[in-house]
Amino acid sequence: MGKLLVIGDLHGNTGHALALLREAKQRGCDRIFALGDFGAWEHMASGRRYFDVVNKAARKEGLLVYFLDGNHDKSSLLHELYDDKPDDEGFLMCRSHLRYAPRGHRWTWEDTRFAAFGGAYSVDKQRRLIWEAHRADKVAERRKYGSTRTRDTAGTLWFPEEEMTDAELDALLAADSSPVDILFTHDKPRDSHPDFNRKKHPACLPNQERIQRVVDTLRPAVMFHGHLHYRYTDQLWREDGEGTRVEGLAADPEVSSRPDYHRDDSWYVLSLPYSGAGEGVPLAAS
């Protein structure tokens, strides 16, 4: 039997990433799966260094790190750089020990069927676009004084591909709508109701509807998501009496300002093959 450490948003926080690698090793896990907003910013030098550091630490610990894309990951660049570098399971190999799960990717670990659907809406979209415009103004100002830099700042802080489109989801579900045991997403499903929900903006709802459609179609026993930066458990029931347990995980400490936050809220040990037995216990007891 194997163990998988499922983790919430990292946002490129190297210290928290390395702490969770140590946690995974201590818990007897051989894999880590991150639920988006991982820190995929390889259009910046800091993002490339982050990938290198996490990969080196994972190699040292003998772990493989997998992630799906969140709204703050530049997924278009991941495809541009790594589409021609899939591993034997179809993950894109970003580094020797670092793998990306594209939207709609399916795989099986220890007789347990998985699917991953990344993406979400950024509530800070306008602020990020303002920052991008400010960067463009600075580049233009430097050119007045002889700088030859012609850098395009668009798409450096806000990524147009951050959400799945309806057409994208239609195609993914048309290709394979068979059930899975475990679903990994970045966004929450429409019907889950955490006590604390920082994603109630009307513009967030279309993608939550898409995730709900994924849940209703793939009928997972349990799904894990990030994005809210809040740890909660909920249960969604279908008309046939079957249901999906929703596990929302918290994020890295630098973005989790709630007074009741604890670092352990950001991870969950999942035993494989998945049977449901013993699941849902408090994290402190896992």
Question: For residues 279 and 206, what is the distance between their CA atoms, to the nearest angstrom?
Answer: 30
Are 190 and 229 contacting, i.e. CB atoms less than 8 angstroms apart?
Answer: no
**Greatest pairwise CA separation for the chain in angstroms:** 69
Q: Per-residue pLDDT for 215 more than 80?
A: yes
Q: Per-residue pLDDT for 125 more than 70?
A: yes
Same domain? For 176 and 52 the reply is: yes
Written as six digits, the tokens of 204 are 């967030």
Residues whose CB falls within 8 Å of the CB of residue 25, separated by 6 or more in sequence, listed in order:
61, 62, 63
Sheet hosting strand 98-100, strand order edge to edge: 92-95, 98-100, 64-67, 31-34, 2-7, 267-272
Q: What is the pLDDT of residue 152?
A: 67
Same domain? For 74 and 191 the reply is: yes
Residue 157 CB coordination number (10 Å): 22
Compute the average pLDDT of residues 110-123. 97
Same domain? For 128 and 24 the reply is: no
* Cis before 273? omega within 30: yes
Same domain? For 178 and 52 the reply is: yes
Question: For residues 112 and 24, what is the distance between their CA atoms, to the nearest angstrom?
Answer: 20
Question: For residues 65 and 223, what is the distance between their CA atoms, to the nearest angstrom?
Answer: 19
DSSP 231-266: -EEEEEE-TTS-EEEEEE----GGG---TT--GGGG
- Going by DSSP bridges, is the β-strand pair 64-67/182-185 parallel, antiparallel, or unpaired? unpaired
Written as six digits, the tokens of 201 are 């903006």
Q: What is the DSSP letter of 143?
A: H
Q: What is the pLDDT of residue 114?
A: 98
Q: Per-residue pLDDT for 93 more than 80?
A: yes
How do residues 13-58 score in pLDDT, each as one tens digit?
Answer: 999 999 999 999 999 999 999 999 999 999 999 999 999 999 999 9
Q: Per-residue pLDDT for 192 more than 50?
A: yes
Q: What is the pLDDT of residue 143?
A: 63
Same domain? For 177 and 74 the reply is: yes
Q: Which of 99, 133, 155 is the last residue of a domain?
A: 155
Compute the average pLDDT of residues 58-82. 98
Q: Is the pTM of this model over 0.75?
A: yes
Q: What is the pLDDT of residue 132?
A: 84
Same domain? For 196 and 87 the reply is: yes
Q: What is the pLDDT of residue 278?
A: 41
Quote the mean pLDDT of the chain. Answer: 92
Give the helix/strand (H/E) hosting 75.
helix 75-82
Same domain? For 81 and 42 the reply is: yes
Same domain? For 164 and 145 the reply is: no
Compute the average pLDDT of residues 151-165. 88
State the pLDDT confidence band at 141, using cuts at 50, 70 and 90.
Answer: low
Q: Per-residue pLDDT for 174 more than 80?
A: yes
Same domain? For 106 and 200 the reply is: yes
Same domain? For 264 and 248 the reply is: yes
Q: What residues make up the domain containing 59?
A: 2-121+158-285
When divided into structural domains, the chain yields a total of 2
Q: Which of 155, 178, 213 is the last residue of a domain?
A: 155
Same domain? For 113 and 141 the reply is: no
Q: Determine what percent of the chain is predicted with pLDDT higher than 70.
A: 90
Q: Per-residue pLDDT for 284 more than 60?
A: no
Sheet hosting strand 222-225, strand order edge to edge: 105-109, 112-117, 182-185, 222-225, 243-248, 232-237
Same domain? For 21 and 144 the reply is: no
Q: What is the pLDDT of residue 95?
A: 98
Q: Residue 99's beta-bridge partner residues?
A: 66, 93
Q: What is the pLDDT of residue 258?
A: 85
Q: What is the pLDDT of residue 92?
A: 98
3-state DSSP assignment of residue 32: strand
For the domain that residue 37 is a member of, what is the CATH number? 3.60.21.10
- Lowest model confidence (mean pLDDT) among 51-65, 132-146, 222-236, 271-285: 271-285
State the pLDDT confidence band at 234, using cuts at 50, 70 and 90.
Answer: very high
Compute the average pLDDT of residues 91-109. 98
Q: Per-residue pLDDT for 254 more than 80?
A: yes
Compute the average pLDDT of residues 79-92. 98
How do residues 265-276 score in pLDDT, each as one tens digit?
Answer: 999 999 999 987
Question: For residues 41 and 65, what is the distance between their CA atoms, to the nearest angstrom?
Answer: 16
Q: What is the pLDDT of residue 240?
A: 86
What's 207-236 look like in SS3? HHHHHHHHHHHHCCCEEEECCCCCCEEEEE
**End-to-end distance of the chain based on CA atoms, in angstroms?**
15
